[in-house]
């Protein structure tokens, strides 16, 4: 039987974007343009509240949203955060919002070649 050794990754941030319906793909493409090809989750969501209510800036708030969460090395979070903000046009009222969570630790399957590389270059390990 194969021995399963759990590998922990640290120094990982999760950037979450809650944007207008249809902008989720724009956010994902901006991440891909920066080389982020894994660790992204996108889903459709519906917020609470009524469409007739007005948002903070006096614009109608649509409750249909796209939510995109992306895992990234903490060293890259500022670059990605800024790029996603620009791509989503979040400087316009009512387009959405973003936030960052610092993850204490995470684990996932790591292929043998990646484990070997980490063993050979311990300075590149995150945890």
All domains of the chain in start order, with CATH: 8-124 (3.30.70.120)
Ranges of the chain whose pLDDT falls below 50: 52, 124-127
Distance CA 79, CA 66 (A): 21
Can you tell me the distance from the alpha carbon of 15 to that of 54, in angstroms, rounded to the nearest whole number? 26
Q: What's the confidence (pLDDT) of residue 127?
A: 44
User: CB-based contacts of 6: which residues, under 8 Å, 6+ apart?
Assistant: 107
User: What's residue 48's pLDDT?
Assistant: 66
Q: How many residues does the structure list for the chain?
A: 127
pLDDT at 58: 56
What pLDDT was estimated at residue 52?
A: 47
Asked if residues 24 and 40 have their Cβ atoms less than 8 Å apart, the reply is no
């Amino acid at each position: 039987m194969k021995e399963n050794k759990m590998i922990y990754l640290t120094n990982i941030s999760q950037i979450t974007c809650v944007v207008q319906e249809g902008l989720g793909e724009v956010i994902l493409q901006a991440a891909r343009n920066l080389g982020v090809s894994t660790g992204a989750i996108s889903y459709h969501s519906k917020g609470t509240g009524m469409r007739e209510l007005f948002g903070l800036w006096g614009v109608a708030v649509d409750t249909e949203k796209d939510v995109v969460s992306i895992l990234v090395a903490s060293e890259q979070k500022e670059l990605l955060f800024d790029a996603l903000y620009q791509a989503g046009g979040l400087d316009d009222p009512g387009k959405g919002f973003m936030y960052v969570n610092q993850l204490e630790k995470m684990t996932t399957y790591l292929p043998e070649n990646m484990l070997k590389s980490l063993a050979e270059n311990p300075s590149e390990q995150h945890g």
